[in-house]
Amino acid sequence: MHQVASIFHAISLPRIDFHDDLGNHTRCLPLLLLWHIFFWWVATAMAETKFQKLGRRSPSEYSLEVEDCCMFGNVISWHPLKLTICWLVLLILLTISYSSKEPDVEGEALIDFLKVLNDSKSQISDWNYNLVSPCFSWSHITCRNGNVISLSLGSKGFSGTLSPSITKLKFLVSLELQDNNLSGVLPDYLASMAQLQNLNLANNNFSGSIPTTWGQLPSLKHLVLRGNHLSGTIPDSIANITGLTELFTGTRLTCDPGMEQPCVSRPPLPVSTRKSKLGVVVTSASCGAFLLLSLGAMFAYLHHYVHKLKHDVFVDVAGEDDRKISFSQLRRFSLRELQLATENFSESNMIGQGGFGKVYKGVLSDNTKVAVKRLTDYNSPGGEAAFQREVQLISVAVHRNLLQLIGFCTTSSERILVYPFMQNLSVAYRLRELKPGEKGLDWPTRKRVAFGAAHGLEYLHEHCNPKIIHRDLKAANILLDDDFEAVLGDFGLAKLVDTKLTHVTTQVRGTMGHIAPEYLHTGKSSEKTDVFGYGITLLELVTGQRAVDLSRLDEEENVLLLDHIKKLQRENRLDDIVDGNLKTYDPKEVGTLVQVALLCTQNSPEDRPTMAEVVQMLRGVGLADRWAEWEQLEEVRNQESFLVSHNFPWVEETTHDPEAIQLSRAR
């Protein structure tokens, strides 16, 4: 008898606390049911086998003494079949009790939040109230330990406002609602979200002032509010948040009186460079895995805390002229390190070449992949000191759509910059250089790239002091991160522009077809030079074609993409404009991008919009009026061009000087 009992005890079930948070997930119950049935079947089989070997009666011929059967207390004699029935009854009762539990609080909160956001375009279609938990399959949500920690709803076309129901997400760490049309005032109730670290409300229509109560957000690290209609001051309470590392207002806000330069810089604060990416806990695999994940999370947090690195706070407020620049976040590499990383700058590792030098893929000693740009023809009158000053200015241009500089290397003969490696390479690659089986760019991604590049350029022009002119914006210089978001590269490598001076260069840098006419003729660059390049890049996104294509000479005289598009636009041949690789697209959105592109590529820089205006026009604000003006001017220009060509047939009809077709060269 005791030998039989020992067999069952040897493989007895682990104790499970059904009051634990994980036990509340009723989808664990079917697995538990199957496990218990399997358990008793194996136990019985083992007992049968053992007693057959011993030549004794099998356990089915008499009862067993099992302690605490089904947690009912005393020692009871039970047959294995009865024990199985006991477990089945218990699980049925548990299922009934759990089925009557209250609806998921976070799920209800998210549904209410979405209603107030006004999802008129039905961008979010898989938030199903009938599902067990939003962590199970809802999109745009990240969960940890069964709780929603991240909500990413940028660029969804929402036109409503914020709802207090968001405060029911007690564990929310990141809230991203940028690039929508949300309106209203910034709500005070967000101050109750103690876990919130990242709040991005950029490029909406919020108005009023920043609530002083937001200074009560103890965990806040990143606050992005640019592109709204805010007024007033930046509250002292926000500027003094201990962990705040980035504050992008992007509007003409001022600092509270008595604040000692809080909008300029703060002392270095400890911030880790590690990014924790914990996925949704899949409880259906095994309920016991929850304990392991909890221990792992605790270990990761301790490791995160111990290995912190110092980082400067970068606070961006438009109009600030006195910004301190810190060099502490950049790493200075030795030439030997980069030689080892790139296999001595091997041609097999070269992934790009442009007007500023060659780019190599490299792998550092810690297995970090990097892009190493080896500058050529670098000639600074100030030598190494001047180079470091330029690098410092580039390093503080921190924006989601700008490629962040990691470090640099300088010797008597070398000037090298080190950037993170973008696995998805560039927009140009995804448009025209794909290998078989690789993913191209669908229309939503192209539209997102257009917005991202515009935001990055706007930041360089409006919020950097001195402002930074890119001077070589093209699809090849727009990189794609892991989420296929646009990241501008090669910015700041041209001379930085002083806003109080006219910037005249002695060398024209750029790519044929992207160079603005006035830059080519005079050597003078400005923000409007970049606007022209951005317009050409929009046309590349829509058509998938190069800015200059000599193969068009077989059918027409226009080798420049801009002239080709103008011709098709006059003939209302929209379908011929769109890239043939696009299976689906929105004709209205295509029309918007083409109109913005043509406004950006007008011959006169004074007629071109600023990048801030471009961002608004991409959202449909002010585009109709500007386009009507353009059509009137274009009609006049066409008439003048016809008269000139009729009276002087030797005059070449083109919107560009023929020199624009030539490669960038010294002047």
The string over 378-417, giving b where at least 16 C-beta atoms fall within 10 Å of a residue's C-beta and e elsewhere, is: beeeeeeeebbebbebbbbbbbbbbbebbbbbbeeeebbb
Structure tokens at 290: 């929850």
Dihedrals phi, psi of 487, to nearest 5 degrees: -135, 115
- Of 119, 179, 472, 530, the active-site residue reads 472
Q: How far is CA 28 from the centre of its chain?
A: 34
Confirm or deny that 373 is annotated as ligand binding.
yes
Contacts of 391 (CB under 8 A, 6+ apart): 330, 405, 408, 417
**503 to each of 379, 593, 667, how far by Cα in Å?**
18, 30, 15
The whole-angstrom separation of Cα 284 and Cα 427 is 40
CA dihedral (269, 274, 280, 284) in degrees, to 10, reads -120
Q: How far apart are CA 450 and CA 155, in angstroms?
A: 12
Count, in order, helices (H) and strands (E) of the chain.
Answer: 18, 23
Please say if 563 is a catalytic residue: no
Q: Token pair for residue 427?
A: 């927009």
Rg (CA), the chain: 32
Q: Which residues contact 187 (CB under 8 A, 6 or more apart)?
A: 162, 164, 211
| CB burial readout 121-149, b (16+ within 10 A) else e | eebbeebeeeeebbbbebebbbbbbbbbb
Binding-site residue positions: 373
Binding-site residue positions for ATP: 373
Active site residues: 472
